Structure 1
Amino acid sequence: MSPEKGLILDFAQTDAMKSILPNTSILSSHGANWEGIHVEYHRQPPNESPEHYLQQHSIGIIFSSAIGGVAVNGKRYGSEPCQSGEMFIAAAGTDFQSYAAEEQEFMAIAINPTDFDNTVYESTNSNLSEIIPHWKIRDLLILGIAWALKTELESGGLNGTLYVDALKNALSLHILQRYCAQKTKMRDFEGGFDPHKLQIVINYINEYIHRDLHLSELANLVQMSPYYFCRLFKQSIGVTPHQYVIQCRIKKAKQLLKRQDLSIIYISQQVGFHDQSHFSKTFSKIVGLTPKKYRDQL
C-alpha cells in the first residue's frame, strides 16, 4: 500500500486511531504540547483494523493478555495469545494491520521520523537508520519509558516538556542501538559548553522559569540539535536540562517564600509548577521541608 492509495495513520491528528479502531483512546498526548512524540492508551473490544500506512515510527505495547496479531507489509504474525508487556516496533512507511480476538488494552507510541533521524545523525554522524520490524518482543527499557509517558499523561503533565523530550531522546537512541539494521558507533562528546553559550542558556532558563520549556527551544538558543545540546549541557553542569530547571525553580521559590505577602499557590505558578501539590512534593524532596514549613523557619 502507498500513502496515496491507502488509509494513512497520522498520530499528529486528534484521536488518530479512531479511523481504524471502534473506540476512542482513554489517554492521548494530543494537546499536551509534546514535540515529536505522540502517545495513545486504549481499551478496545475484539476487532480487526483495516490495512493502514504508518506516518510515524510506531511502538505498540500490550497490557492485557489476548489472542491477536499484526500484519506488516502484508505478512501476518500472531494468532496466538499475546502476553502483557509484549510489543511490536514498526518504521514509518510500513503497511500495517492489527487484529484481536478478545478485548485488549494497549499503548501506542509514535515518534516523528524527522526527530528520530536528527537524533540518529547527531549521535552517530550517520544517516543510516533503517528500523527492522519486530513482533512480540519484550524490552524493559521501552516498557519503563512507556509507563513514564503514561504517568505523565495521567498527571496532566506535571514533570513538563523537558522531561518528555528526554524520554523521547532516550527511546530514539535505544531503538537505534537495538532495532535498526545498521550497527553504528555512538559519537563521543567532550569538553562541554563554551562558557558564553552556557550563560545564554542559563539566563534564558531563569528569565522564563515560569514557562514549560522545550529542549528544542533551549538548543536553538545556541544553534545545536537537542541531542548534542543535552550531552554538552550535562557535561558542563553535571545534571540534565530537566534536572537543572527543577533546581532553578526551587531556588527561585526559596527566594519568593521570603515574601510573606505572596501565597504559596502564587509562588508555585511563578516558578513553573501548575499544580501546588506537585510543587510541594518536589520542594520537600529537594529541600527536606514543605514550602510552608520552610517559610515558617525563615
Structure 2
Amino acid sequence: MSPEKAIILDFAETDAMKSILPNTSILSSHGANWEGIHVEYHCQPPNESPEHYLQQHSIGILFSSAIGGVGLNGKHYGSEPCQSGEMFIAAAGTDFQSHAVEEHEFMAIALEPTDFDNTVYESTNSNLIEIIPHWKISDLLIFGIAWALKTELASGGLNGTLYVDALKNALSLHILHRYCAQKTKMSDLEGGLGPHKLQIVINYINHYLHLDLHLTELANLVQMSPYYFGRLFKQSIGVTPHQ
C-alpha cells in the first residue's frame, strides 16, 4: 500500500472496524474499562476490506462457516471454505486485508503491544520475541477464551475486570509459547537505519507533519517492526520519531 493511502486500524477507537467494514459491531469492549485488550463481535455481509495496518496484536476468530481469505504483509491467501473456530493471528504493524463472499460472524481480539511485551518480559526476561503470522488455524484454548470474553460482554461485565485480566493474561501467555519466535538481536542491527530508509521516513514525516502519525505507520514504510524501528531511528539521529 502506498503511504498516502495507509489506513491505521486502532482498536482503542470507538467502532474501530467501521472504517473498513460495512456494519458496526454487535458487541464491543469500548467503554468497558478493560485494559490492554479490545474486543469486537461482528456480523458482516459479503465484503472486501481495504488494506490496513494493525495497530495492535490481533486475532480474528470465525463464529460461523464462511468462504474467504486474507492478505498478510503482501502474502495473499485466496478464497477457501473456513469453519467456525478457525482464526488468524497477526502482530501489530502487519499489513492486513480480508474478504468474504458470504455473511459471517466473527470476533476480533486486539492486544496492546506494550501490555503484551510486559507479559512476555515477565515470563522470559526478554523483549526479543515476535509474533509469527498464522492463518486458518484452529486453537481450542483461544476459542474458549474468545467465547468467555463474548459472554462477558453480553452480560454487561458480570464478572468484572479482574476476570478479564485473567483471560487476557492466559491468552497472551498462550500466544507467547505457541505462536512466537526469537527476534534478531539489536547487536545484529547496529548502525541505525540505512541512509536510504532514513530519508524515506524523514520525507514522509515532513510531508505529513500536519497529521497524527503513528509509529506503526512509519515502521511499515521501511518494512520493520515498530519496536526495532523506534530503536534504530533514535540510534540514527539521536531523537525519537515523536520528538
Q: TM-score range by the shorter chain?
A: 0.7 to 0.9
Q: Which residue of 1 aligns with 2:66?
A: 66
1:38 is the counterpart of 2:23: no
Q: Which residue of 2 aligns with 1:132?
A: 132
Contact residue 67 and residue 102 of structure 1 kept, 8 A: yes
Higher helix share: 1
CA deviation profile, 1:171-199 (whole Å, cap 9, x unmatched): 0000000000239xxxxxxxxxxxxxxxx
Q: Give the structure-1-normalised TM-score.
A: 0.60
List structure 1 segments (4+ residues) > 4 angstroms apart after TM superposition. Answer: 1-5
Q: Which residue of 2 aligns with 1:56?
A: 56
What displacement does 1:2 show? 7.6
Q: Which residue of 1 aligns with 2:23?
A: 23
Identity %: 90
CA deviation profile, 1:243-271 (whole Å, cap 9, x unmatched): xxxxxxxxxxxxxxxxxxxxxxxxxxxxx
Structure 1 residues 163 and 3, CA gap change in structure 2 (3 angstroms): farther
Q: Which residue of 1 aligns with 2:106?
A: 106
Q: Which residue of 2 aligns with 1:91?
A: 91
Q: Give the structure-2-normalised TM-score.
A: 0.73
CA distance in 2, matches of 1:7, 1:124: 33
Q: Which residue of 2 aligns with 1:148?
A: 148
Bigger relative CO (Cα 8 Å, ≥ 6 apart):
2
What displacement does 1:64 show? 1.0
Contact residue 3 and residue 53 of structure 1 kept, 8 A: no
Whichever of the two has the greater Rg, that structure is 1
What displacement does 1:78 show? 3.5
What displacement does 1:105 show? 0.5
The one-letter code matched in structure 1 to 2:119 is: T
CA deviation profile, 1:191-214 (whole Å, cap 9, x unmatched): xxxxxxxxxxxxxxxxxxxxxxxx
Count of paired positions? 183
Q: Which residue of 2 aligns with 1:10?
A: 10
Contact residue 49 and residue 99 of structure 1 kept, 8 A: yes
Query: Which runs of no fewer than 5 residues in structure 1 stay unpaired?
Result: 184-298
What displacement does 1:63 show? 1.0
The one-letter code matched in structure 2 to 1:152 is: E
CA deviation profile, 1:113-156 (whole Å, cap 9, x unmatched): 00000000011101122100000100011001000000000000
Contact residue 2 and residue 53 of structure 1 kept, 8 A: no
After superposition, the CA RMSD in angstroms is: 1.4
The one-letter code matched in structure 2 to 1:111 is: L
The 5 Å alignment of 1:112-123 reads 112-123=112-123
SS at match of 1:181: strand
Query: Which runs of no fewer than 5 residues in structure 2 stay unpaired?
Result: 184-243
CA distance in 1, matches of 2:3, 2:176: 25
CA distance in 2, matches of 1:2, 1:133: 22
